[in-house]
Amino acid sequence: MSDVSTGEQGARTELVEEIFHGTGDTYDEVAHLATFGRDKKWKEELLSYLDSPKRILDLACGTGILLLEMKRRFECHITGVELREEYLRICRERVSQRGYEDVRLVLSNAEDFLIEETFDHITSCYIPKYVNLEVLVPKMIRMLAPGGLFIMQDFAYPNEPWVQDIFDDHFKRMKERCGHLPDWDDCWERLPEVLKKSTWIEDTQRLMAQEGLEDVSVVEQSRRMSALVYGRRPTG
C-alpha cells in the first residue's frame, strides 16, 4: 500500500518538476498570461472570503504571489509550504526584501505536511490538480482550527463547448506566445491534459463534506475556467 502511494506520489512530483523546472524567474509573468490575465482577479475573489486571519497556512506558495499579498493586507502569521526549492528561494528572497516577519517557509510536499499546530485559514492556489486529495484534504483539516476556513483555487476545465474551444486554443497558443521562454515548453505540453483529467472540484467538495466541514461550496470563476472550493470547520 505504502509502495503504491509512494510510487504515485513520486510520479506526481516528477510531473510537477517537469512542468516547472527552470521557470521560477518568469513564473509571475507567465501566470498572468496563462490565466487570460485573470490570476489577480481569481486571487482577489479568494481573498474576499478571508476574515481577519491570524494564522494562515498557504499550500504550494510558489514564488509567493498569494502569500505576499496576504502578508501585505493582514497582520498575521503565515506558514508557506512548497515542494520545489527553486520557487521557495524566490519567495524567501521576496519575504526578506519586504522585511516581513512571522513568515515560516517550509520545503515539503504538502501531502506530507502535518504539524501539531492549528491555522484559522488554509489557502491554496493551483495545487489540487497535482496532489492526492484523499491524502491532502483530511490532513489539512486536522490542522484547521474550529471555525477555520479551508479554501482552494485552481484551473477547471470549462463545461460549455464554446468556452472549451477558447480554453484549448489558448493553451495551444501559449507555446507560441512564450516562444522566447523555452523552459515553459513542457508546461504547455503537459498542462492541458492534466486540466482535462482533473476531477479536483468534485473530489475536494466530497472530501471536505466527508471530513465534517460545513457550508462546503464551489464558486465558478470566469465561466468555470477556474474555481474556488471552500468549507468551514464547525466551531463546536
- Interface positions with ligand SAM (CB under 6 A): 16, 20, 31, 60-62, 65-66, 81-84, 87, 109-111, 125-127, 130-131
**Nearest approach, Cβ of 143 to ligand SAM (angstroms)?**
15
* Residue 110 per-residue DSSP state: G
- Give the residue ranges of DSSP H helices in the chain: 2-20, 27-34, 39-47, 65-73, 85-97, 133-142, 161-177, 185-197, 200-210
Closest CA to 126 of 232, 19, 25, 216: 19
**Nearest approach, Cβ of 31 to ligand SAM (angstroms)?**
6
Long-range contacts, 90-93 (Cβ 8 Å, 24+): 90/24, 90/25, 90/27, 90/63, 90/64, 91/61, 91/62, 91/63, 91/64, 91/67
Residue with smaller CB distance to ligand SAM, 60 or 213: 60
Residue with smaller CB distance to ligand SAM, 24 or 158: 24
**Nearest approach, Cβ of 29 to ligand SAM (angstroms)?**
12
**Nearest approach, Cβ of 235 to ligand SAM (angstroms)?**
28
Looking at residue 48, its amino acid is S
**Nearest approach, Cβ of 127 to ligand SAM (angstroms)?**
5
Residue with smaller CB distance to ligand SAM, 84 or 232: 84
Give the whole-angstrom CA distance, residue 120 versus residue 118. Answer: 7
Residue showing the smallest CB distance to ligand SAM in the complex: 62
* Residue in this structure with the C-alpha cell 498572468, named with its chain if needed: 32
Residue with smaller CB distance to ligand SAM, 215 or 229: 229
Query: Could you tell me which residues come within 8 angstroms of residue 101 by beta carbon, excluding any fewer than 6 positions away?
Result: none
**Nearest approach, Cβ of 66 to ligand SAM (angstroms)?**
5
Q: Which three cell numbers stand for residue 213?
A: 466541514
Residue with smaller CB distance to ligand SAM, 18 or 165: 18
Residue with smaller CB distance to ligand SAM, 76 or 81: 81
